[in-house]
Amino acid sequence: MPKNENLFSSWRGWRGRVTSRLVHRGWRAVQRAGAVTAERPGPYRFGRIGVGTRLAFPQGTLFGEPWIELGEHCVIGEQVTLTAGMMPGVDLGPDPVLRIGNGVVLGRGSHVIASVPVEFGDDVFCGPYVYVTSDNHSYDDPEQPIGRQWPRSAPVHIGPGSWLGAGAMILPGARLGRNVVVAAGAVVRGEVPDHAVVAGAPARIIRRWAPEEGWQPPLRTPAPVPIPEDMTVEQLLALAELEREQERAGERGLEDAGEGRLEREPGAGAS
């Protein structure tokens, strides 16, 4: 290849790398500037935004903010839709319609649609693309398009400490107890008791905690050991290295045991 072509390719590669860095750096600056917090609410006027709560940029559809209350230290992912009322500009009265407790996480692309009360307890964690709604289409009149018929609405309650997996749907009238697990893709309606795991469409209980018996059916794996709060990063790294050394020692022990068996077998090593 001629020397000038090498120089051109090198320059073009350098320019591409610089452009990529600038684009990503600029986008991060836009994300920081566009995030919504109590100190920087942007164009939105929520009924409440608690300390430490952040709505990532870009946001999804947001309206009815005066009737939406967000607790403290919530994480609202990108493209999350939060709406109160059937449409923007409607007076919904003196009380909040959508209440999100403290420490709630709503994953990217999730939707929460509320025209009647919807409530998230504290420390509810949601995966991406979760859909929670107080409204569902009705189809009573066979002559009218379904989208033009007045929807059926019912309040929704999600108990504190619950986990909603990716793509889960919570339908009008659902009431989830405390520390409920909703499997990915499940469609939940009706009442779910405390400490239950539900899955499927429609969702059904597949596991439940009984105080006398523990989890039924029993869990297949032991509970993970939590990391002590006072452990430093250096200690964690040293512990991980120690575990790797123990694994390597165990592998060497298995190899030595295998060689020993070969030596004890009659005719071992004979040609």
Q: Which of 24, 73, 111, 137 is catalytic?
A: 137
- Identify the CA nearest to 132 among candidates 102, 182, 172: 172
The order of strands in the sheet holding 105-106 is 54-55, 75-76, 105-106, 125-126, 163-164, 181-182, 196-199, 204-210, 214-216
Task: Establish whether 195 is a catalytic residue.
Answer: no
Structure tokens at 109: 């692309």
Whole-angstrom distance, CA of residue 194 vs CA of residue 183: 15
| Residues forming a β-bridge with 153 | 135
Whole-angstrom distance, CA of residue 176 vs CA of residue 187: 12
Whole-angstrom distance, CA of residue 104 vs CA of residue 152: 27
Q: What H or E segment, with its residue span, contains residue 100?
A: strand 98-100
- Identify the CA nearest to 180 among candidates 137, 121, 227, 118: 121
Whole-angstrom distance, CA of residue 19 vs CA of residue 35: 24
DSSP character for 177?
Answer: -
- Identify the CA nearest to 78 among candidates 34, 25, 121, 26: 34
Whole-angstrom distance, CA of residue 4 vs CA of residue 9: 9
Radius of gyration of the chain (CA): 27
Residues marked active site are found at 137
